[in-house]
Amino acid sequence: LADESCSWAYSLVDSSQVSTFLISILLIVYGSFRSLNMDCENQEKEKDGSSSAAGTFSSNNNSEWEHRLLSSSCVRAFRGIQTIDSTQALFLPIGASVSLLVMFFFFDSVQVVFTICTAVLATIAFAFLLLPMCQYLTRPCSPQNKISFGCCGRFTLAELFSFSLSVTLVLIWVLTGHWLLMDALAMGLCVAMIAFVRLPSLKVSCLLLSGLLIYDVFWVFFSAYIFNSNVMVKVATQPADNPLDVLSRKLHLGPGMGRDVPRLSLPGKLVFPSSTGSHFSMLGIGDIVMPGLLLCFVLRYDNYKKQATSEPPGPANMSGRMQRVSYFHCTLIGYFVGLLTATVASRIHRAAQPALLYLVPFTLLPLLTMAYLKGDLRRMWSEPFHAKSGSSRFLEV
């Protein structure tokens, strides 16, 4: 019994589990700060544009032209950024369920198209992940110059460098199918989604995460009773035909022309091998991205509160130490505890677990409790950034 308990405890600190914990938390933190940095940069550009416009028009027309400039600046700044509203939050689990069923029933028919689309998105996302490093490397060569590519637009040297590296990595992944390259692409997708998708309020956050919790629980625990198979696990683990192999067969090329490439495990998850190589630990990117969107929201709110000049004091019975605890750190600890609980549950039941069943309560409940104790719950619940003071640095979304 003692040996069995030691073996069970050792499995929790196995390299695959430790890697899953560390990488998922790092992706959430990095993606959240990338999102916040994007807001800060766009706000600075907006301020610069407003200042330059104010000097060119007479005082009686300033407010009108500043309003127009602010609107056009916001459109340019948030191009590509998606803010989820209440309706989208309610229907997203339904759309995800439909997509899951399509993949379950028609995977053989759509796998090539799906693989190509995934590869294209992963290329763009991984280029976004590499961009800061490339900007640092190319800064001595070309700080601000952009190269024109006609109708495709203008790009800096750093953007071209990061995109070239990303295309190279995707091509190597297609040729080898190595799990490490798949993980790299999945990391890029996680960071890009956390950085470019916004939750505007705590109400939308609760609607989205609660709906996805029900979605995750149903498709992991109850789908087998209806479809005679665990739909979620089968779709997540089913490899796809390599597009090179399909192209080779369509063109009737020889066995040496694209026929020896492996099938591809798509980057919709992170997998890490154990130290013994006997098994892999797997975590879906949805289990990183969806709680990551909540972490991104509370990080932006923490900075909003920090920058606001007219911040009202907390309740009289709140200690100064509690007031200094940030929502981001509280929610991040909850994510860690939830992920640990999901791992323990999977070891106990020896079966795949819906991670959001544990992640959602352990992130939302501490956040709601702390917001209530600090007196911020009403403001966070409904569009907190719309009542922004003029001194705040960050954009409202």
More confident call, 148 vs 71: 148
More confident call, 286 vs 393: 286
Query: Which residue is listed with tokens 């998850």?
Result: 269
The count of residues in the chain is: 397
pTM: 0.84
DSSP string, 267-320: SSEEEEE-TTSS-EEEEETHHHHHHHHHHHHHHHHHHHHHH-SSPPP--TTS-H
How far apart are the C-alpha atoms of 112 and 244, rounded to whole Å?
10
Read off the pLDDT of each residue in 271-293 and give the average, rounded to a whole number: 85
33-82 pLDDT, tens digit each: 999 998 887 777 766 666 655 555 444 454 443 444 333 333 333 447 88
The yes-or-no verdict on residue 213 having pLDDT over 70 is yes
For strand 197-198 and strand 82-83, is the pairing parallel, antiparallel, or unpaired? parallel
Hey, which residues are catalytic here? Answer: 216, 287
User: What are all long-range contacts of 278-286, with beta carbons under 8 Å and residues at least 24 apart?
Assistant: 279/16, 280/16, 280/179, 281/14, 281/16, 281/17, 281/19, 281/20, 282/236, 282/237, 283/20, 283/24, 283/355, 284/236, 284/355, 285/186, 285/189, 285/190, 285/193, 286/212, 286/216, 286/356
Read off the pLDDT of each residue in 139-157 and give the average, rounded to a whole number: 73
Give residue 322's region: left, alpha or beta (phi > 0; psi -120 to 50).
Answer: alpha
* Helix (H) / strand (E) containing 374: helix 356-374
Residue 81: closest CA among 216, 215, 199, 220:
199
Residue 264: closest CA among 168, 165, 175, 167:
175
Residue 285: closest CA among 298, 308, 266:
266
Model pLDDT, residue 7 = 57
340-389 pLDDT, tens digit each: 999 888 888 877 889 999 999 999 999 999 999 988 899 999 877 764 43
Residue 185: closest CA among 281, 249, 264, 110:
264
Return the top range by mean pLDDT from 157-161, 283-287, 342-346: 283-287
The yes-or-no verdict on residue 28 having pLDDT over 60 is yes
Contact 181, 169 (CB under 8 A): yes
How far apart are the C-alpha atoms of 107 and 367, rounded to whole Å?
39
Contact 240, 117 (CB under 8 A): no
Structure tokens at 76: 């340019």
Q: Could you give the residue ranges of the DSSP H alpha helices within 139-238?
A: 157-176, 179-196, 202-217, 223-227, 231-237
Residue 397: pLDDT band with limits 50, 70, 90: very low
Residue 268: closest CA among 165, 130, 163, 114:
114
Indicate the residue type of 120.
V
Contact 306, 375 (CB under 8 A): no
